[in-house]
Amino acid sequence: MNENEILRIENLTKKYFNKTALEDVNMSVEKGKIYGLLGPNGSGKTTLMKVIAQLHKQSSGHVFINGNPLSYESKASISYMPTENFLYDSFKVKHAVKFYADMYKDFREDYAMNILEEIKVDPEFRIAKLSSGLNGKLKVALALSRNADLYMLDEPLNGVDVLSRDTIMELISKSYDETKTFIISTHLVSEIEKILDSVIFLKDGRVELFGDAEELRLSKGTSVEGLYKEVYKNV
Amino acid sequence: MEFNNNIPIYLQVIEKIKQDIVTGRLKSGDKMLSSREYSTMLGINFNTVARVYKEMEMEEILFTKRGLGTFITESPERIKSLRYEMAKKQIDDFVRGMEQIGFTREDMIKFIAENK
């Protein structure tokens, strides 16, 4: 096994009744890199993240975290941010922070409070009253405040205004270090491609393309977005 | 800094740093930002900046002092030769473009002299 490998997926298939959401997915994800999980709605991005986060069980195939099959321990080393709004409307921001601190042993409360101050989210704000931009930033801030090995952010830029998108990408860049790995799903490719090391294109539940973003620019002479348009033009 | 996403980003950052060195915006012996600071400032990937520094160290334009950071070469000769390399590249690109539209070298020199 490659010692830099944090996540390995072998022949992963996920079926829901008669629909195949993921089909024979294989990949090796390395430590210290930011991956873009790209594809239009319905390509399997969320399903893939949910299987890795153990919210869904695969139909067949294997997933390894740090060389070990998925388990309770591996679950603890993954910080997963679902795309849905999962924070209770009746909470204040500070309650959400407390909730995370109670849920996760690796949650860094000071770190979270610092980020919230930096991005101007008042701990006294009520979740229900937050704009979608603030809500998006809060969700990302909470996920990044855990001290995990692997961060999976499902559509962190979706439904968020342009300035908040920049803030979210800055938060990701700042929380990066060589021991952490990020998988970020999005269909907003042009916004995010500059912060990515590698890209994974999913199409109809299969890996259509996997590669280093800079090498792809060099060999194909086009942006990740350009490749994206080419791969999905008939979808 | 604006990037063209069609071209590898590390190449664009290298070009920018080189320009800043030969025009004196960055000076011999200056300390560069850390990869983390620079990548956050430019809004690009950390490893992209790490790669920029590595490549520029191989070109002996930057050097690393262990534990202290990355610095711009203290050799005036290297900066001079860098300026020459960059000028050479501009000329090569220009000449190639002009040849494609049928100019000989003599035509080019004459043309430049006449179009000041």
**A73 has pLDDT over 90:** no
Helix (H, G, I), strand (E, B) or coil at A19: strand
| For range B4-16, the mean pLDDT | 96
> What CATH code is carried by the domain that includes residue B57?
1.10.10.10
ipTM: 0.85
**Which residues between 5 and 64 in chain B have a beta carbon less than 8 angstroms from any beta carbon of chain A?**
5-10, 36, 39-40, 43-48, 51
- Please answer whether residues A122 and A159 qualify as being in contact, where contact means their C-beta atoms are separated by less than 8 angstroms: no
Q: Which residues form the domain of B70?
A: 1-74
Interface touch A214/B46, C-beta < 8 Å: no
pLDDT band at B115 (very low <50, low <70, confident <90, very high): confident
Residue A14 confidence (pLDDT): 97
Interface A–B counts its CB contacts (< 8 A) at: 52
Interface touch B5/A195, C-beta < 8 Å: no
Q: Are residues B105 and B65 in the same domain?
A: no
What domains does chain A contain, in order, with CATH numbers? Answer: 5-232 (3.40.50.300)
**A186 has pLDDT over 90:** yes
pLDDT band at A212 (very low <50, low <70, confident <90, very high): very high
Residue A228 confidence (pLDDT): 95
The tens digit of pLDDT for each residue in B26-75 reads 999 999 999 999 999 999 999 999 999 999 999 999 999 999 999 999 99
Q: Are residues B70 and B89 in the same domain?
A: no
Give me Rg for the CA atoms of chain B. Answer: 17
Interface touch B8/A176, C-beta < 8 Å: no
Total tally of structural domains belonging to chain B: 2
Q: What percent of chain B has pLDDT over 90?
A: 96
Q: Are residues B13 and B41 in the same domain?
A: yes
Read out DSSP for B73-112? ---HHHHHHHHHHHHHHHHHHHHHHHHHTT--HHHHHHHH
- Please answer whether residues A172 and A119 qualify as being in contact, where contact means their C-beta atoms are separated by less than 8 angstroms: no
Q: Are residues B11 and B46 in the same domain?
A: yes
Q: Are residues B93 and B70 in the same domain?
A: no
pLDDT band at A172 (very low <50, low <70, confident <90, very high): very high
Residue A2 confidence (pLDDT): 74
Residue ranges of the alpha helices (H) in chain A? 45-52, 72-76, 93-103, 109-118, 132-144, 162-175, 189-192, 213-220, 224-232
Q: Are residues B19 and B57 in the same domain?
A: yes
Q: Are residues B84 and B34 in the same domain?
A: no
pLDDT band at A235 (very low <50, low <70, confident <90, very high): low
Average model confidence (pLDDT) for chain A?
A: 94
Report chain B's terminal Cα–Cα distance, integer Å.
31
Picking from B85, B83, B107, the residue whose alpha carbon sits closest to that of residue B95 is: B107
Nearest-CA distance A194 → chain B (Å): 5
Average model confidence (pLDDT) for chain B?
A: 95
Q: Are residues B27 and B8 in the same domain?
A: yes
Nearest-CA distance A214 → chain B (Å): 5
- Please answer whether residues B69 and B34 qualify as being in contact, where contact means their C-beta atoms are separated by less than 8 angstroms: yes
Q: Are residues B69 and B39 in the same domain?
A: yes
Which tokens is B25 given?
């915006």
Residue A162 near chain B (CB below 8 Å): no
**Rounded CA gap, A96 and A85, in Å?**
12
Residue A32 near chain B (CB below 8 Å): yes
Query: Which chain A residues are closer than 8 Å to B2 by Cβ?
Result: none
Residue A38 near chain B (CB below 8 Å): no
**A30 has pLDDT over 90:** yes
Q: Are residues B68 and B79 in the same domain?
A: no
| For range A196-204, the mean pLDDT | 97
Phi-psi region of A16 (alpha: psi -120 to 50; beta: other; left: phi over 0): beta
Nearest residue, CB atoms, A33 vs list B3, B8, B47: B47
Nearest-CA distance A197 → chain B (Å): 7
- Please answer whether residues A180 and B53 qualify as being in contact, where contact means their C-beta atoms are separated by less than 8 angstroms: no
**A152 has pLDDT over 90:** yes
Q: Are residues B21 and B54 in the same domain?
A: yes
Q: Are residues B20 and B66 in the same domain?
A: yes
